[in-house]
Amino acid sequence: MSELSDEEQQIVELVARWVDDEVRPVVNELEHADRYPASLIDQMKQMGVYGLAIPEPYGDFAVSARCYARVTEEISRGWMSLAGAFGGHSVVSKLLLRFGTDEQQQRYLPRMATGELRATMALTEPDGGSDLQAMRTVAMPTSTGYVINGSKTWITNARMSGLVALLCKTDPTAEPRHRGVSILLIERDNPGFTVSRDLPKLGYKGVESCELHFDDCHVAADALLGGAEGHGFAQMMTGLETGRIQVAGRAIGVARAAFDDALRYAQDRHTFGKPIWQHQSVGNLLADMATQITAAQQLNYHAADCIDSGRRADMEAGMAKLFCSEMAAKVTLDAIRIHGGHGYSTEFDVERYYRDAPLMIVGEGTNEVLRNVIVKQAIGRNGLS
């Protein structure tokens, strides 16, 4: 099992202190107003959060996947929306580092490392959901590049990002379908590319999730990630290993916050002459919550260690995202149970955790789809295919 370096441990501790000092005192006001947290985002840039996945010579210091998971946990412990503000950005960073041309890396990564340029990825379509190979967004080749038509939805940070990694079809007739899929790097001011409405959400407030439209959007040939068509599906699946570890880290952070609040409340609240944690029904809930959070952390750290060692991690990252997200949904509901009527009040944070948790179940690939990924990998790796 990998451990954090001294420098990485200091980064995690710095972020944890920032969450306690700067995020938690203001999160309720920002969240309930659904207000964009501009000041907190700027502070994240100053701390180097947007460059965590970008090494020299483009950035100052790239951390391990395990450290990245830990930082995500701490930020989500304060406000899950803030982790969403750099999740897709990190996936695009990884895509550029692994698959980008020299020109693409030099053009984007130095500004992405500082947060001057923010990036997001665009996968989901209004009628497609997790069936990415059935996408209808098409980029037809021209003499100078591509002309794109189609729509994407539920794209986080779309309005604030200057770069979008667009998954689309460059050969709609290809068989199998994934061989016709590519990634194009679209800049915000590109004609024909518009960000329309912000979608209303149950939770995940503060940061925007938008619809994107491409109407005869022309891009140059050098917008093609890596310079070769037909590799976009495999490229994005590799990037999503990091994305799913990040989503799992978000789930753990939300669950930790819910557990901390429930544990504190169970010590302060007295009924029948004793603190409620001493009632077996409440104590059992707390014991299960602590156990599930610890198990989730170890599963996510294992997936991160697989990435750090260069091993294939699609099954491990899928397992971590699946388990951690389902765990967070249960832990946040149990935190409300422990708070009783107070848990249903917007004056307490646990109702926010409960509203935020479902995002991790349906985001970055639904858990139903991930179960398919896991079982296929389990069969394939055991030589049973």
Taking only the tens of pLDDT, the chain with its 385 residues reads: 468 999 999 999 999 999 999 999 999 999 999 999 999 999 999 999 999 999 999 999 999 999 999 999 999 999 999 999 999 999 999 999 999 999 999 999 999 999 999 999 999 999 876 677 779 999 999 999 999 999 999 999 999 999 999 999 999 999 998 899 999 999 999 999 999 999 999 999 999 999 999 999 999 999 999 999 999 999 999 999 999 999 999 999 999 999 999 999 999 999 999 999 999 999 999 999 999 999 999 999 999 999 999 998 999 999 999 999 999 999 999 999 999 999 999 999 999 999 999 999 999 989 999 999 999 999 988 865 5
Instruction: Say yes or no: 110 and 221 in one domain.
Output: no
Residue 1: inside a domain: no
pLDDT attached to residue 267: 98
Instruction: Say yes or no: 68 and 160 in one domain.
Output: no
CATH number reported for the structural domain that contains residue 376 in this entry: 1.20.140.10
- C-beta separation of 293 from 259 below 8 A: yes
Residue 325: inside a domain: yes
Indicate the length of the chain as a whole number.
385
145: left (phi over 0), alpha (psi -120 to 50) or beta: left
Residue 366: inside a domain: yes
Instruction: Say yes or no: 238 and 375 in one domain.
Output: yes
Beta strands in 221-350 (DSSP E): 270-271, 274-275
Q: Report d(CA 129, CA 151) in Å as an integer.
A: 12
3-class DSSP state for residue 280?
A: helix
pLDDT in tens, 324-341: 999 999 999 999 999 999
pLDDT in tens, 259-316: 999 999 999 999 999 999 999 999 999 999 999 999 999 999 999 999 999 998 999 9
> What is the residue range of 214's domain?
120-230
CATH number reported for the structural domain that contains residue 130 in this entry: 2.40.110.10
Catalytic, 103? Answer no
Q: Report d(CA 104, CA 99) in Å as an integer.
A: 9
| φ, ψ of residue 189 in degrees (nearest 5) | -90, 15
Residue 243 to residues 3, 68, 90, 342, 356, Cα–Cα distance (Å): 21, 11, 8, 34, 17
Last residue of a domain, one of 207, 230, 253: 230
> CA dihedral defined by 284, 290, 292, 298, rounded to 10 degrees?
-160
Last residue of a domain, one of 230, 262, 287: 230
Last residue of a domain, one of 64, 84, 118: 118
pLDDT attached to residue 2: 63
Q: Which of 230, 137, 217, 254 is nearest to 182 (CA)?
A: 230
Number of C-beta neighbours around residue 175 at 10 A: 8
pLDDT attached to residue 381: 85
pLDDT attached to residue 129: 67
Instruction: Say yes or no: 74 and 192 in one domain.
Output: no
CATH number reported for the structural domain that contains residue 97 in this entry: 1.10.540.10
CA 43 to chain centre: 19
Q: Report d(CA 256, CA 73) in Å as an integer.
A: 8
Please list, in sequence order, all residues whose beta carbon lies within 8 angstroms of the beta carbon of residue 279, skipping any fewer than 6 positions away: 271, 272
- C-beta separation of 49 from 71 below 8 A: yes
The number of folded domains in the chain is: 3
pLDDT attached to residue 249: 98
Q: Report d(CA 195, CA 213) in Å as an integer.
A: 6
Choose, from 3, 351, 364, 368, the residue flagged as catalytic.
364
Instruction: Say yes or no: 359 and 239 in one domain.
Output: yes
